[in-house]
Structure 1
Amino acid sequence: MPIRRPRRATLPFLVVTVALDLLAFGIIIPVLPRLVQDFLGGEAVSAAQVYGLFGLTWAVTQFFGAPVLGALSDAVGRRPVILLSNLALGLDYLLMAVAPGVGWLLVGRAAGGLASSSFTAAFAYVADITDADRRAAGFGVIGAAFAFGFIAGPALGGLLGAIDLRLPFWVAAGLCLANALYGIFVLPESLPQERRTPFTWSKANPVAALRLLRSNTEVFRVSVVLFLSNLAHEVFPAVFVLYAGHRYGWDQVTIGFALAAVGVASATVQGGLVRRIVPRLGERPTMVAGLACGAAGSLLFGLAPSGGWIWLAIPVAALWGLFGPAAQSLMTQRIAASEQGRLQGALNSLRGVSGLAGPVLFTASFAAGVSQPGPSLAWGAPFFAAVVLLLLALVALAPGVLGKGAAGGTVVRRPGRGLGNGPLLARPRA
């Protein structure tokens, strides 16, 4: 009987895993706020305040959980972390499906935030299996899988929620548990034994993870820029629905179509344009182009005198998606193969911080803007704040700012080709 060789880890295996995870996550987006409101007797103000606590809990658990799972994936491999996460998320959604009150929903959200920190392992998986010259494209494809989840998930969740408010949680649980089975039988491991490093708690905390970002001048510079970009991007989940409804009188259907358009445009950029543009321009010029397009698109959102202008702003802002894969690719090439999980854990911790600060910044600026008699340009204040953050990011990316640049840190060159090996090239998105 012939010996069956283990599957070679390739990107399509991971894309299926990430897409199913994000589909499950997206399904509960339209129904979770309504379920919270129902538990609170339908009172909208209290529901909004409590739901804000849900967002805070998610961000905090991501901040602490991502470095742990990142370091763990460096020690035991990416596959076990991804599998355990899928299993934990499935059980978490089952808990939320039968939750008798808001407190249990909050416990479920905290557990979900910890389990979803395993996306650090997914990004490290990309670094393991792609050569340097194709790494940005790999991160772009994963970004497109994220976009798919956020397009299809809420749409499906809305349909299921119309049948029963708990049904989306049952379906999300089923998807995650099916994903765990897929991983057990299909998903290969990407990290060879010789590249693994022992797990220690001294490496698996947010402070140590952020210290890793300071170990290389170029990585530190790009991580600062990435944080500013992530913080600016929080303007969309924080205020877009409120902004479009207040300024243009859009109903939920129109807003839903606009969000779907954002998702399609983002998926097109990350899944298609990144792999063509980055090899031609290089990582750093692609990052500059992405940030500039993000600033231009945000400015259009803030200035748009009518709703029609929003449809013009969406494709411009979608080109912001060029930045993340290029930034990710550049940083992975300057960190050792045995520490890719820690790198992604540190970056996800930064995302947690932006997830904490962004909603506060943009909802406050929105409240201040709409307090002005209108119509007024002040209504676009949150998007103007995002423009300022992106301009600061462009300044931080310039040579001579925040250190010496690429020459100021250690560059990791990996000889040969194969899983994660390849020459150092200039170039993707988180």
Structure 2
Amino acid sequence: MALASSYAADCTSESDRNVGIGWFHGSMFFGFAAGPMFGGFIGMSGGPMVIFYTALAMRVMGILFLIFFVPESFPDQSEHATSITSSVKQYFDKTRQQSWMENLKGANPLQIFAAKNVSKKRVRRNLIALASVNTIMFGAFMGAMNVMLLYSEFIFGWGNKQSGVFLSTVNLFRTLATVLVLPLAIRFLKRYFKPARQSTPSKCNCPETGSFDGLDVFLIRISILSDIVGYVGYAIAPTGALFTLSGAVAALGAIGLATSEASMTKIVGTEQTGELLGALGFLQAMARIIAPTVASLTYSRTVSSTPALVFWGVAICFAAAGTATFWVEPDRGSGMYGNEEAVPLQARDQ
């Protein structure tokens, strides 16, 4: 996902980046919605190993599609790029010349958040605050996922079929939120927000925009609010239908993940986008480990007395993420490391 978001950042202008990354997130959520149903159908119609063969075939198809059909994000630069062998050789030659302490510092995945070439403290604060918001939202989402199924089975007596329908429904709403609601929201709300000033001209054949404006912060806050309302709804829902409705409300929170990622890529230059999203992927990987563990342990300790306590805790986490957004100050300049170099694929084809 980090590489996919980096590709989207390369191929889109700043004004379209929220939508581009939202498409990638929407595709992922659609996979979450369709995957279980597709897997269940294959499992019922074939043998137990057919599902694994199908998954392997789909992986191979994805790799072949990337090799033969997906274009380079920067085709002009790729023609002059060094070979992989030369790049690896240069990397090892460089590491041999450095001390082990310098190599250890260079391996720090979070070093971009303390980059020395950040010219303004406000810009660094924005970057750290947005990364914190994104990580908290992602961790809360991952932590509550397994507990939702256990809770619904315990409270409402759901079986595998009802749980599968619930997951597919919620992820379908997340897909609609990122693919349909996000572009429409940007289209109709951008007139009420003054774009940030861009001090250097862009190579993109698109309207001039700022690197990070108030609309991004507004969308993140609205998505966090929907998450809070949704998870409070999970905690107090007396029926399975209202529980599912709460999931539909919380699905709007998917907009916040895509928008926060896009906002961070607007702060850094294109040459640092991969490093930034790699650092964000590391934070999300840590959240993927820690959050489900904490949520599952909490649920196991409180299921007999207050089974909904986990959802209240997740709502508090989202409230903390919402508080962190008030540390974010929209940019009025051109960004952290230089001007925007991204050129949309549509512009390159003209």
Q: Same fold (TM over 0.5)?
A: yes
Task: Tell me the secondary structure at the aligned position of residue 208 of structure 1.
Answer: coil
1:275 aligns with 2:174: no
Where 1:319 maps in the other structure, the secondary structure is helix
Aligned to 2:270: 337
- State which of 298, 302, 309 in structure 2 corresponds to 1:365: 298
Matches of 1:416 and 1:187, distance apart in 2: 20
Cα gap change, 1:416 to 1:230, in 2 (>3 Å): closer
Task: Give the alignment's Cα RMSD to 1 decimal.
Answer: 2.8
1:152 is displaced (CA, Å) by 1.4
Distance 1:410 1:332 in 2: 10
Match of 2:227 in 1: 294
The alignment status of 1:127 with 2:9, answered yes or no, reads yes
Counterpart of 1:95 in structure 2 is: none
Q: 1:244 aligns with which of 147, 152, 157?
A: 152
Q: Any idea what SS the aligned residue of 2:109 has?
A: helix
TM-score, normalising length: structure 1:
0.63
Give SS of 2:74's match.
coil
- Residue of structure 2 equivalent to 1:414: 339
What is the CA–CA distance in structure 1 between the aligned matches of 2:61 and 2:163, rounded to whole Å?
31
Change (3 A) 1:419 1:338: farther
Contact 2:33–2:168 at 8 Å: present in 1 too? yes
Q: Output the amino acid matched with 1:218.
A: N
Give the whole-Å Cα distance in 2 for the aligned partners of 1:246 and 1:417: 50
- Partner of residue 140, structure 2: 232
- The equivalent of 2:112 in structure 1 is 212
2:23 to 135, 141, 144: 141
CA contact (8 A) 1:269 1:318 kept: yes
Task: Say if 1:389 and 1:355 are closer, same or farther in 2 by CA, change over 3 A.
Answer: same
| Matches of 1:159 and 1:169, distance apart in 2 | 13
Asked if 1:310 corresponds to 2:243, the answer is yes
Superposition deviation, residue 262 in structure 1: 0.5
Contact 1:214 1:220 in 2 (8 A): no
Decide whether the 8 Å contact of 1:235 with 1:362 is kept in 2.
yes
Matched, 1:394 2:315: no
Report the CA distance shift for 1:416/1:187 in structure 2 as closer, same or farther (over 3 A). closer
Cα deviation for residue 258 of structure 1 reads 0.8
Q: Give the alignment partner of residue 61 of structure 2, picking from 165, 178, 183.
A: 178
Q: SS at 1:209's partner residue?
A: coil
Letter in 2 for 1:411: M
The one-letter code matched in structure 1 to 2:322 is L
Q: 2:312 aligns with which of 372, 376, 384?
A: 384
- Call closer, same or farther: CA 1:396–1:408 in 2, change over 3 Å: farther
Q: Secondary structure at the match of 1:305?
A: coil
Tell me if structure 2 keeps the 8 A contact 1:129–1:418. yes
Shift, 1:397, TM fit: 1.3
Give the superposition deviation at 1:359.
1.2
2:289 is aligned with 1:356: yes
Aligned in 2, Cα 1:203/1:295: closer, same or farther, shift over 3 Å? Answer: farther
Q: How big is the shift at 1:330?
A: 0.8
For the residue of structure 2 that corresponds to 1:189, the secondary structure is coil
Aligned length in residues: 296
SS in 2 for 1:240: helix
| Counterpart check, 1:284 vs 2:217 | yes
Displacement, 1:249? 0.6
Distance 1:411 1:220, change over 3 A: same
> 2 CA distance for matches of 1:151 and 1:319?
15
Counterpart in the other structure of 1:256: 164
Contact kept, 8 Å, 2:266 with 2:335, in 1: the verdict is: no
Match of 1:167 in 2: 50
CA apart distance, 1:192: 4.6
Instruction: State whether residues 213 and 223 of structure 1, in contact with CA within 8 Å, keep that contact through their aligned partners in structure 2.
Output: no
CA shift in 2, pair 1:236/1:399, >3 Å: closer
Asked whether the 8 Å contact 1:278–1:326 carries over to 2, the reply is: no
The structural deviation recorded for 1:169 is 1.0
Paired with 1:125 and 1:329, the residues of 2 have a C-alpha distance of 12
Distance in 2, Cα, partners of 1:206 & 1:300: 45
Structure 1 residues 408 and 370, CA gap change in structure 2 (3 angstroms) = farther
Q: Which ranges of structure 2 fall in alignment gaps of 5 or more residues?
A: 96-101, 116-123, 191-214
Look up the SS of the partner of 2:110 in the other structure.
helix
For residue 154 of structure 1, report the CA deviation from its aligned partner: 1.3
Q: 1:164 to 1:416 in 2, by over 3 A?
A: closer
Q: Following TM superposition, where does structure 1 have runs of at least 4 consecutive aligned residues deviating by more than 4 angstroms?
A: 192-207, 404-410
What do residues 245-275 of structure 1 show as CA deviations (whole Å, max 9, x unaligned)? 0011111111111111111100000001111
Contact 1:217 1:405 (C-alpha < 8 Å) held by counterparts: no
SS at match of 2:343: coil
Offset, 1:236: 3.3
CA spacing shift, 1:364–1:406, aligned 2, 3 Å: farther
CA contact (8 A) 2:265 2:273 kept: yes
Q: What is the deviation of 1:309? A: 1.3
Identity %: 21
Q: Distance in 2 between matches of 1:189 and 1:320?
A: 31
Give the TM-score normalised by the residue count of structure 2: 0.77
